[in-house]
Amino acid sequence: MKGYVLLFLAIGCVGAAPALAAESSSSSSSSAAGSSSSSPSYDGDHAGTQSAEIGDYRIGAEDVLDISVWNNSAISRTVPVRPDGKISLPLVNDVQAAGLTPAQLRSVLIKKLAEYIPSPEVSVIVREVHSFKVSVIGEVKKTGRHELKGRATVLDILAMAEGFGEFAGRNRIVVLRPEGKSMRQIPFNYNKVISTNGGLENFFLQPGDIIVVP
């Protein structure tokens, strides 16, 4: 009788082992799946950052703006941004526009117009872009100043310059960027950029940048 009992217990343990293993495996798989689904996506975050940068356009001199004040045609109008960066509107006179995003300028106008109009509804639309200008000088086939309608990299503008001169220092290019009353120098190594994995060195230009090819 004792032998039968021991045999029964042994068979029960052997039968339970696969079930326990399956349960353990299922638990591990669920945990791994949960961990994977909660991991952040770097590519998505990076794409979001790029989209935000593209959307934050800042108004510049010579741009043309549509300023609309709801139910007030006397103030609503299309205005150019003057070389000093300001626009002129009835009631508020001169308002600084250059350097602001359309949303920021809208907030400024609402605050100023609120002194004359109860709860003004204002919209600001960039009708024409003329302020995004960059230059390329030095050892290139076609020097000049280019008015851009969208974002462009250093390589884009070098392509518009139709290539380098015979003695161009391709590894000593400098981008001069206005910062207040000074100019920041940003090095650009063309040879490195066109090499394998060098694309990350090719950055976007900003209005007023000057590419110098020695």
**Strands 173-179, 93-96: pairing kind:** unpaired
> Lowest mean pLDDT: which of 12-16, 110-114, 128-132?
12-16
- Could you tell me the two tokens for 182? 């000074």
pLDDT digits (tens, 9 = 90+) for 144-158: 999 998 889 999 999
Phi/psi for 195 (5° steps) reads -80, 175
pLDDT digits (tens, 9 = 90+) for 119-130: 999 999 999 999
**Strands 133-138, 210-213: pairing kind:** parallel
- What are the structural domains, with CATH classification, of the chain? 64-128 (3.30.1950.10), 133-213 (3.10.560.10)
- Could you tell me the two tokens for 179? 């910062």
- Give the residue, 31 or 127, on which the prediction is more confident: 127
Is there a contact between 211 and 204 (Cβ–Cβ < 8 Å)? no
Whole-number Å distance between alpha carbons of 21 and 43: 37
- Could you tell me the two tokens for 121? 């509804």
For residue 81, give the nearest of 146, 147, 124, 131 by alpha carbon: 131
pTM for this one? 0.65
DSSP symbol at 164? B
For residue 160, give the nearest of 200, 199, 211 by alpha carbon: 211
Whole-number Å distance between alpha carbons of 118 and 115: 8
Amino acid at 41: S
